[in-house]
Amino acid sequence: MVIDVLRATSTMVQALAAGYERVRCCQSVEDALALRAPGRVIAGEQDWKTPPGFDLGNSPGAFTSPDGAEVVLATTNGTPMMAAAAAHSDHVVLASLLNLDAVVAALSPADVLLAGAGTNGRPALEDTYLAGRIASRLEGERTDAAVMAEWLADAREPLGALAASADAAKLREAGLGDDVEWCAQESVLDSVPRVAAVEDGVGIVELTDPHGATIRSSAETRV
């Protein structure tokens, strides 16, 4: 389960809930621009800014109605993490606070690895917080990291946890403070994105089976 609360997984959840058919997740700005085609919206961020030539940034509030069939997304941390996860697992789902209830409901009792994208290789407070919220609702043994994430989640409410993070401070500096409040909304969307395929290093993210397919494996919760 890939987590990038501020903001990649929040943006993907929002985009698919709004009606985009899929999100193509790229590992670089150049890869995203190379996929420009009719019906595709090129979106993302680099150093908190919308890259030159992109149609949209990485603010989930910009994805409330589709401007095409697909989003091509490139971000500093979230989209590379998603591609890395897909290389090591056949079942990868994307989690945010926006779809917290839905993503937990999509899991059967399972060996779940909660993978926070973090920031430039370092853990991020907001991702650890969400990992703790999810871990607390799953059965089975926990790693020490999962227990620590649960303790953090017990100590804060969503907006307080997100707003206290270094990434939230960077967003406020960039004039994107509203994104923090948007991403702190809890369980307002039913979308459960999954990695459907990886093509030439680009992750194809779509919604899970609308008839309720679940992600299955065996019994440990790891962070």
Angle at 114 between CA 30 and CA 176, to 5 degrees: 50
Q: What pLDDT was estimated at residue 212?
A: 45
Rounded CA-CA distance 180/70 in Å is 24
Q: Tell me the whole-structure pTM to 2 decimals.
A: 0.92
pLDDT of residue 84: 86
Predicted confidence at residue 90, as pLDDT, reads 87
Q: What is the DSSP string of 183-223?
A: HT--S-----EEEEEEETTEEEEEEPPTTT--B---SEEE-
Quick one: pLDDT at residue 140?
A: 86
**pLDDT tens, 180-219?**
999 999 999 999 999 999 999 899 999 976 444 444 433 4
Distance CA 75, CA 219 (A): 32
Q: Band the pLDDT of 39: cuts 50, 70, 90.
A: very high
| Mean pLDDT (the chain, rounded) | 92
Radius of gyration over alpha carbons of the chain, in Å? 16
Q: Which two tokens stand for residue 123?
A: 């853990």
pLDDT the model gives residue 83: 85
pLDDT in the model for residue 218? 36
All domains in the chain, ordered by first residue: 2-222 (3.90.1560.10)
Number of CB atoms found within 10 A of residue 21's CB: 14
Query: What's the CA gap between 21 and 186, in Å, rounded?
Result: 23
Beta partners for residue 70, in sequence order: 22, 40
Tens digits of per-residue pLDDT, 50-93? 999 999 999 999 999 999 999 999 999 999 998 889 888 889 99
92-123 pLDDT tens trace: 999 999 999 999 999 876 688 999 999 999 99
Instruction: Specify the DSSP element, H or E, that contains 142.
Output: strand 141-142
CA dihedral in degrees (46, 49, 54, 60; nearest 10)? 100
pLDDT at 221: 58
